[in-house]
Amino acid sequence: MKPLPSRWPPPAFLAILSGKPMDATYEAVPGSIHVSQEFEFLRPLVVGETVTVSGQVVDKFEKRGRTYVVVETLYHDAAGNLLARGRAETIVPPAAQEE
């Protein structure tokens, strides 16, 4: 096993990047509710490394009169190796659904 890098960003750093695929599909509007989020890390990120984020909406459903959207996100390093994957669930307000 390789030793851990001496400097790496906190794992929550990926949460900041995870909204990009959602933003491309639903414009950020007031009233969105973040329901849940999970990550699977395949290796630690290193400070200064390039990370490419891609994702897609994989589910949209109604529950108790609200629309939920599920986004899956992949994080790759500059060589194309998968660093992590994530899944987030958000309640989308009616204003975003009309677009």
Convert the pLDDT of each residue in 17-50 to its tens digit: 766 665 655 556 678 888 999 999 998 888 888 9
| Extents of the domains making up the chain | 30-97
Q: Closest by alpha carbon to 44, among 73, 87, 1?
A: 1
Q: Specify the pTM.
A: 0.74
Convert the pLDDT of each residue in 44-96 to its tens digit: 888 888 989 898 889 999 999 999 989 899 999 999 999 999 998 989 887 65
- Count Cβ atoms below 10 Å from residue 86 Cβ, excluding itself: 21
Q: Closest by alpha carbon to 69, among 46, 50, 94?
A: 94
Residue-level pLDDT at 93: 83
Q: Please name the amino acid found at residue 56.
A: Q
Residue-level pLDDT at 6: 63
For 30-97, which CATH superfamily applies? Hotdog Thioesterase (3.10.129.10)
